[in-house]
Amino acid sequence: MTTRMLEGKKIAILVESEFIPEEIAAYQQHFGELGATVHLMSRLWGYESLRFVSDVDAVGKSLEYLDVNIDFQNVDMNDYAAVIVSAGYTSVRLRYFDPPAGCPISPEQTRTAPAVQFFAQAMTNPKIVKGAICHGLWLLTPIPELLQGRKVICHEVTLADIANAGAVYVPSASGIVVDGDLVTGRSGHDVGRFIDAIAQLIIQHNTEPGQKQELIKVTS
């Protein structure tokens, strides 16, 4: 029986279209089993809710839909024990920024994307566990100083960009790398171990010195 070691904790998951249904379901199931509340959030562009569509990576695979009604721009980040950038095209789509009217686009403007700013704010708060899986670290490449020297793993598609941002790529047989308050995963297929690592860090952050920590493993 799974212990509810994350009772009362909230987990923020950034999502967008071309999400991976199995990954999102894993967050909802396994964090829920640990007692945490999962909030799926995105940029809603002023709408009360948006419907996102899943990826299709196999012939004949049916599309799935995800209704999201939380805009990350309207939440208090300090309410969350962890902020996670999901796999798929979430990081690509959420890097969109609004160029100033009448001004030419410049690389510096990429930092202004609301989702980039949101995850950057989380990165500067050591009390919040950060998670990025597969393509997720792409959301931080506009602010490379936040990746400088951090030990990470990512999908090989994004490896050149992550390395150019100054991160230290660490191969891992488990597909998971933990560096302080940052947990990274190679692909969406590693989501089970990714969840375990994030949950364990949250517990560590809330364990008093000298208090025994309980090792959790809710996934295979």
Q: Which tens digits make up the pLDDT trace of 126-137? A: 999 999 999 999
Beta bridge partners, 185, equal: 133, 176
Given pLDDT bands bounded at 50, 70 and 90, which one contains residue 9? very high
Of the listed ranges 49-63, 85-99, 109-123, 198-212, the least confidently predicted one is: 198-212
Question: Exposed/middle/buried for 196, CB within 10 Å: 0-12, 13-18, 19+?
Answer: buried
CB 67 within 8 A of CB 1: no
Structural domain boundaries, residue 35: 10-205
Asked if residue 109 belongs to a domain, the reply is yes
- Give pLDDT tens digits for 171-180: 999 999 999 9
Cα R_g (the chain), whole angstroms: 17
pLDDT of residue 214: 53
Look at the chain and count its residues: 220
Average pLDDT over residues 199-209: 84
Total domains in the chain come to 1
pLDDT of residue 100: 86
Given pLDDT bands bounded at 50, 70 and 90, which one contains residue 160? very high
Nearest partner of 186 among 125, 133, 111, 107, judged by Cα = 133
Cα separation, 16 vs 105, whole angstroms: 24
Asked if residue 173 belongs to a domain, the reply is yes
- DSSP sequence for 74-141: GS-GGG-SEEEE-STTHHHHTT---PPTTS---GGGGGG-HHHHHHHHHHT-TTSEEEEETTGGGGGT
Q: What percent of the chain has pLDDT over 90?
A: 85
pLDDT of residue 15: 98
Asked if residue 35 belongs to a domain, the reply is yes
Asked if residue 106 belongs to a domain, the reply is yes
pLDDT of residue 206: 82
Question: In this structure, what CATH number is given to the domain that contains residue 168?
Answer: 3.40.50.880
CB 200 within 8 A of CB 218: no
pLDDT above 50: residue 220: no
Structure tokens at 88: 């798929």
pLDDT of residue 217: 59
Asked if residue 52 belongs to a domain, the reply is yes
Report CA-CA distances (Å) from 20 to 51, 81, 89, 110, 183.
14, 23, 9, 25, 19
Nearest partner of 85 among 34, 147, 32, 35, judged by Cα = 147
Asked if residue 103 belongs to a domain, the reply is yes
pLDDT above 50: residue 147: yes
pLDDT of residue 219: 53
Residue 51's Cα: distance from chain center in Å?
19
Structure tokens at 55: 């990826």
Asked if residue 179 belongs to a domain, the reply is yes
CA atoms within 13 A on the CB side of 47: 12
pLDDT of residue 1: 42
Residue 184's Cα: distance from chain center in Å?
9
Average pLDDT value for the chain = 92
Asked if residue 220 belongs to a domain, the reply is no
Average pLDDT over residues 99-121: 94
